[in-house]
Amino acid sequence: MVTPTSTRPDGGDEAASDEALSGPGQQIAIIGMACRYPGADSPEAFWRNLADGVGSVTVFPPAPVPGSRADGAAAHYTPARGLLDDPAHFDAGYFGYSPREARLISPQQRLFLECAAQALEDAGQDPARSAATFGIYGGGTENGYGQILRDRRHELPGVTDWDILIGTAPDYQATRVAYKLGLTGPAVTVQAACATSLVAVHLAVQGLLHGDCDVALAGAAAVHVPDKVSQYTPGGIISARGECRTFDAAADGTVGGDGVGIVVLKRLADAQADGDRILAVLRGTAVNNDGAHRVGYTAPGVEGQTAVIREAQLVAEVDAGTIGYVEAHGTATPLGDPIELAALTAAFRRDTDRTGYCWIGSVKTNIGHTDAAAGAAGLIKTVLALQHRSIPPSLNYDKPNPAIDFDAGPFRVATRLTPWTADDTPRRAAVSAFGIGGTNAHVILEEAPPRPASAPAPAHQLLVLSARTPEALGDVAGRLAARLRDDPPGALADVAWTLQTGRREHDHRAYAVVRDTEGAVRALTGIAAGHPADAISRRAEHREAVFHFTGTTGRAPARGLYEAEPAYRRAVDACFAAAEGDDAVVQAFAHAYATAMTWIQWGIRPACVLATGAGVAIAAAVTKVLPVADAVRLAVAHARSGGAEALRDYAELFREASPRPPRVPLVSAALGRRLTQEEAADPLAWARAALQPDQELLDRALSELRADPRLVLLDVAADGSPPGPDADPPADDHAAALDTLGRLWSAGFPVRWRQVHGGVPRALLPLPGYPFQRELFLVEPLAQDGPRPGESADGPRPAGQPDGGGDEVLPTVLRLYAEILGFDEVAPSDDFFDLGGDSLIASRLAERIREVFPVDIDALSVFESPEPVQLAAAIEELLAP
């Protein structure tokens, strides 16, 4: 995968050095996939169609198109195509696009973006919370959406050539994904005709092995809106009858199709260390070009294909005799199929003389030729076949092409779903993609290695859910409940881990603390129905915790937490090791101190600390002012204190312990405010907080803290917040702590989920993806009797006064917001940037305002006053005499 081998197209010496071979350390794991292909909107649906032998090509009545040829004669079109369901529908809000901007982005780029988000989710990768570098390699096909926008540009307010270019040109397809999903590694556009997506995979592999990125997305899209029709040309690659009959004697070409396919890749060793779900292993990839060794620019060549297949085998260190399936390019042309089989046979014959042992097929018989996305379709099909250990049928095959001697070669066509048996080697497969222009790509796959058994886990687990809207949040909960009820994917702790670490975090949030799958289904069903209401919230922008230590609980260490949480167990053990006895005071100290250290280990770090009474010694240990042993002695001294001399004795003990500056600010119960640095270093201030708290000042401090909406007061010695009325009540201290953690996460606190699971990653599982709330965003092609100039694509613009007519500023500003952003209406308090605005759109809005009002407004004014009511007020101030 890294360096070229000495494979020669002329069949010369192919001995390769050890450095040229990949070795186990150079293997790449496929850890996630997403696709939209005819008849399928997910890999699961895709596999069901493949396994059932479903043909997803749409057939419609043939009809000539008059006047389409230069000579005026009718051009004939193939009456079939692989079509996508609702390709122009899109969840603009999920990606932060306004309706106007969404309509200016081609459906091809939009679906590629959606699939990229779905693929990352399937892989359990959230770039926003990962230290890994993410890259994307992808391309697309030429489509006519940009021309539609140009044809109707006079009807689209403020649309520029630049808008059309970045919204439709393939150059911006990969970088759009990087921008919207936060990928900071290479974002590379790949264009290699029909080989595009498999070449993207090869380049992604190279990027991973060279360290350009740690996680890579690779794939392509071919989406035509409106639907493309395929012109039939005698001797061309399109079938006249509209059937793709790969390898068949009656084959006369392929059928066009639309599709999107993306895979997520990671170095195998990293994927195994991180607990990723490995779908398959990429053992080797290779790319080359036929050069001049073919009869024409659009014709395939045997030598180039043989060379690329053989090089991939050598890089993979795989004997061709161990490959059990080949997903062929398989365009079903009388010329192309025999050439492809000849090249495959020549490459395989370098290793084996066996016949009829390797299955072969082509996904084009199911969905048509999806152009730039064709290689990804074959790759995803093959990964699914490895996962299900079955060979899906290749359709439309009755008897072999007479130019292909299957009896003498290694291959046989799979015509029914066939169990894939294994010998003494793992199941292996190969995938080819050959582009017009001579670019050839070939990859060698191997089934995923066995996954280690799931580690033991505590009884209670915290399930966290989030979405951009309340409606989507209900769908998330409902989908997950159905999956757990009908087809549980694995251990409940792994389900929790996948939800906690493998999903993007959105504003609308819900959680549930559960003990088993049945309880999880019950809780999730309740969330889907909108209750319990107190388990559903909207994340605040910024929240901080205040640790409140009172030391009044008298609690001994909690058995549930001690057994379930290593951080709690370590802290309790440290307290008992430092104490001279095991009395009630030490036990209460240990519980409170361990509780606080558990919260900190989980990521809930205090912005400040408030302590009174016996809680002062605990606070001193938590803030690292005193070592645990000294803090325990102070707690004992506090319990035995009495009389006026106690204050001096406590202060002296504190001074003797050589206190250090606290790591977080302190709020004094004796002063009713935060301590200065000098006061925080004064042992007498600590002694007063412990022995002479002022209740009135304490109440004032608590009131001020509670009045700050950014702060959450957390009594770290308590057992946790009570659950909602319809949730399973916490059965022990661990469940109660998880319930409180769920509340904090719902409020916007970041959580160190690995530490919640004891400091080690768990297994990521396949869970239902995000339920996109799609709407139609489309600029229709200009009809022959299209709308009159000045009439928008969505109907005529309102008649009446010129822009800015009317006496009130706010209604006009609201109308301009709606016009620029593409909404029917906008509320006075809506935020420009929450609606999908950006700096470029802000400049356009400012320009429109200057056209309407005689004021000097620029984009900065929109940034400073993003709400219409704010901007209207600014305009009125400028208009005032």
Domain with CATH 3.40.366.10 in the chain: 544-718
Other CB atoms closer than 10 Å to residue 573's CB: what's the count? 14
Q: Label the pairing between strands 280-289 and 439-447.
A: antiparallel
> Using 50, 70 and 90 to split pLDDT, how confident is the model at 726?
very low
Domain with CATH 3.40.47.10 in the chain: 24-447
Residue 721 clears pLDDT 90, i.e. is over it? no
Q: Which residue has the higher pLDDT, 2 or 849?
A: 849
Q: Which neighbouring-strand residues pair with 139?
A: 220
| Residue with tokens 């990839």, as numbered in its chain | 285
Give per-residue pLDDT as tens, 632-671.
999 888 888 766 678 888 999 999 999 999 989 998 877 7
At 2, list the tokens. 């890294």
Catalytic residues: 194, 329, 369
What burial class does residue 470 get, using C-beta atoms within 10 Å of its C-beta: 0-12 exposed, 13-18 middle, 19+ buried? Answer: middle
Give per-residue pLDDT as tens, 741-787.
999 999 999 999 999 999 888 999 999 999 999 999 999 988 644 33
CA separation (Å) from 16 to 57, 316, 445?
A: 44, 12, 20
DSSP 504-551: ---SEEEEEEESSHHHHHHHHHHHHTT--GGGEEE--S--EEEEEE--
Could you give the CA distance from residue 291 to residue 438 in angstroms, rounded to a whole number?
A: 7
Q: State the CATH class of domain 544-718.
A: alpha beta
Q: Which residue has the higher pLDDT, 680 or 840?
A: 680
Walk across the sheet containing 134-140 and list its strands: 187-189, 134-140, 215-222, 259-267, 28-36, 280-289, 439-447, 428-434, 325-327, 358-361, 411-413
Give per-residue pLDDT as tens, 829-867.
898 888 888 877 888 888 888 888 888 888 888 888 889
> Using 50, 70 and 90 to split pLDDT, how confident is the model at 418?
very high
Q: State the CATH class of domain 795-879.
A: mainly alpha
Could you give the CA distance from residue 773 to residue 469 in angstroms, rounded to a whole number?
A: 9
Closest CA to 77 of 222, 239, 243: 239
What burial class does residue 131 get, using C-beta atoms within 10 Å of its C-beta: 0-12 exposed, 13-18 middle, 19+ buried? Answer: exposed
Q: At what angle do helices 868-879 and 809-821 cross, to 10 degrees?
A: 130
Q: Which residue has the higher pLDDT, 832 or 306?
A: 306
24-447: CATH, from 3.40.47.10, 3.40.718.10, 3.40.1190.10, 1.20.120.80: 3.40.47.10
| Residue with tokens 């974002």, as numbered in its chain | 187
Residue 360 clears pLDDT 60, i.e. is over it? yes
Domain with CATH 1.10.1200.10 in the chain: 795-879
Could you give the CA distance from residue 28 to residue 206 in angstroms, rounded to a whole number?
A: 10
Which pLDDT does position 807 carry in this prediction?
A: 52
214 in Cβ contact with 278 (< 8 Å): no
